[in-house]
Amino acid sequence: VVTPGAPDRADGVDATGASDGRVVVLGLGLVGGSLARLLHARGADVVGYDADAATRTAAAAAGLRVADDVAGAVAEAGVVVLAVPLRAMGAVAAEVAAAAPPGVTVTDVGSVKGPVRQAVAAAGLGERYVGAHPMAGTEHSGFGASSAALLDGAPWAVTVAAGASTPGVGTAGTDPARLAAVLRLVTGRLGGTAAVLTDELHDEAAALVSHVPHVLATQLLNAVAGAPVRDVALGLAAGSFRDGTRVAFTDPARTQAMVTENAAWVAPALRKAVRDLEAVVAALETNASLHGFFHEADQVRATWTPRRPGAGSAEGAGRPGGDVVALAGDWPRAVLDRCAAGAVVTRVDADGVHLA
């Protein structure tokens, strides 16, 4: 169920009264389709496109405005969202570069941010690009699995290029006006929250909370699939196996791409997993205590509660007492610093960027 956005947050109009314009979603799979559906449900000016004709037909049948090609889709775009597989980002970005208006803001929904920025920059769109990644999904894929509810109120990461030597992100390759436009989109009509991060910080954190979990889930499923006791094991499988392998039922090609693209962060995290598991094996084989291993995360257990699906909408929004960073000076750096400490953007308005 998609709730109407609050009027003061959902109009897509920035502090100066200027609209960020049409949102064009390229790729109408699970995430792109859900994004287009949600924007459509909120009354936004949204146009979609997918390389697959059957997907375009299905999207049109669902009431979405669908273009016949990339050039037609982006011709009057204010914001273009690349929602194609990681391997296709570069090629689609090149098509966008050839046809989109100069003022366009390009963003994406890819699960890895550094490599997408490289691909977009190679297409000549680096200065118009702001990275984005909604932290929501299911083990299904394709437009048929999309829904306006999937991304409604989702937490997003919105990423900027880290300057090599400068503390000013605004001067390091990410246009503050375009960053503001993406933050307005995410926290406005999409009803979400946004953690503004460098690509590197996103990719390191995403390796820990998403990519490595996908690898471990795949290993669990593989181990049972290849075991002599497979049939008995699957017969006994209950909650711990179901949840531990859920994401291994994701399209394996998509998972492979995600993991491979973020190899720089996934590999060291997996190396740590190997070391940790070797220590567990050694303890089991020598009757040494595993108390430390099983209690290492007790503080997180005591203080952190996993977010439930669909519970994100109210998070942060309207929370009193949050920071506000005015849209002046090197405000992206100020927002970045606060988000690195765990804050999220909940709103952008005439007062500035609201954080909670």
Residues 130-189 that bind a second copy (CB under 8 A): 135-138, 154-155, 157
With respect to a second copy, which residue has the nearer C-beta, 189 or 214?
214
Residue choice 55, 159, 187, 210 for contact with a second copy (CB under 8 A): 210
Residue choice 11, 72, 99, 246 for contact with a second copy (CB under 8 A): 246
Q: What CA–CA distance (Å, rounded) separates 41 from 63?
A: 10
Candidate ranges 63-71, 97-105, 253-261, 322-330; the one touching a second copy (CB under 8 A): 253-261
The minimum distance between CB 110 and a second copy, in angstroms, equals: 14
Residue choice 4, 278, 310, 326 for contact with a second copy (CB under 8 A): 278
Contact flag: residue 314 with a second copy (CB under 8 A): no
Residue choice 177, 272, 314, 324 for contact with a second copy (CB under 8 A): 272
Full 3-state SS string of the chain: CCCCCCCCCCCCECCCCCECCEEEEECCCHHHHHHHHHHHHCCCCEEEECCCHHHHHHHHHCCCEECCCHHHHHCCEEEEEECCCHHHHHHHHHHHHHHCCCCCEEEECCCCCHHHHHHHHHCCCHHHECEEEECCCCCCCCHHHCCCCCCCCCEEEEEECCCCCCCCHHHCCCCHHHHHHHHHHHHCCCCCEEEEEEHHHHHHHHHHHHHHHHHHHHHHHHHHHCCCCHHHHHHHCCHHHHHHHHHHHCCHHHHHHHHHHCHHHHHHHHHHHHHHHHHHHHHHHHCCCCHHHHHCCHHHHHHCCCCCCCCCCCCCCCCCCCCEECCCCCHHHHHHHHHHCCCCEEEEECCEEEEC
Site for a second copy in 25-44 (CB under 8 A): none
Residue choice 7, 17, 165, 299 for contact with a second copy (CB under 8 A): 299
Contact flag: residue 227 with a second copy (CB under 8 A): yes
The minimum distance between CB 302 and a second copy, in angstroms, equals: 10
Residue choice 201, 317, 334, 345 for contact with a second copy (CB under 8 A): 201
Residue choice 60, 177, 301, 351 for contact with a second copy (CB under 8 A): 301
With respect to a second copy, which residue has the nearer C-beta, 74 or 151?
151
Contact flag: residue 229 with a second copy (CB under 8 A): yes
Q: How many residues bind a second copy (CB under 8 A)?
A: 98
With respect to a second copy, which residue has the nearer C-beta, 60 or 307?
307
Contact flag: residue 202 with a second copy (CB under 8 A): yes
Residue choice 31, 62, 116, 212 for contact with a second copy (CB under 8 A): 212
Contact flag: residue 6 with a second copy (CB under 8 A): no
